[in-house]
């Protein structure tokens, strides 16, 4: 109760009351409220991390594609490993190891 007796005179002041209402409005109800801004900032940081990941992935894949286009031995090796392709007189045995 003692706290309310100290705060009550300030709440009767129309300027302070207006400031409090303004800050509450900005924090929660405005179209550009602070809660949404914090969520957006977190999403932007995540997108920046994703951007760096995809840049490195594009670089790695471009290098791999260049190797596949220039060397037919690499292309054959890639086709055999990734798509299990074989020559007409070969048999393929897939061995899976359990962890």
C-alpha pair distances (Å), 88 with each of 12, 43, 69, 76, 91: 92, 52, 23, 14, 8
Beta strands in 1-99 (DSSP E): none
Long-range contacts, stretch 60-63, CB < 8 angstroms, 24+ apart: none
**Interaxial angle between packed helices 72-83 and 34-70, expressed in degrees from 0 to 180 and rounded to the nearest 10:** 120
Instruction: Please report the pLDDT score of residue 21 as a whole number.
Output: 87
Q: DSSP assignment, residue 30?
A: S
Question: Is the confidence at residue 78, as pLDDT, over 90?
Answer: no
In tens, the pLDDT along 17-75 reads 888 888 888 887 878 788 888 999 999 999 999 999 999 999 999 998 998 888 888 88
Question: Is the confidence at residue 2, as pLDDT, over 80?
Answer: no
> What does the alpha-carbon distance between residue 17 and residue 33 come to, in Å, rounded to a whole number?
20
Domain spans in the chain, listed from the N-terminal domain onward: 1-30, 32-85
Instruction: Please report the pLDDT score of residue 5 as a whole number.
Output: 77
Question: Is the confidence at residue 98, as pLDDT, over 70?
Answer: yes
């Amino acid at each position: 109760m003692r706290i309310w007796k100290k705060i009550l005179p300030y709440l009767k002041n129309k300027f302070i009351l207006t400031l409090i209402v303004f800050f509450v409005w900005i924090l929660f109800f405005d179209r550009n409220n602070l809660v949404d801004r914090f969520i957006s900032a977190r999403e932007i940081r995540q997108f920046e991390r994703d951007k760096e990941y995809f840049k490195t992935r594009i670089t790695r894949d471009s290098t791999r594609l260049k190797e596949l286009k220039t060397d037919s031995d690499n292309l054959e090796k890639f086709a055999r490993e990734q798509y299990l392709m074989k020559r007409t007189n070969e048999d393929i045995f897939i061995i899976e190891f359990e962890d």
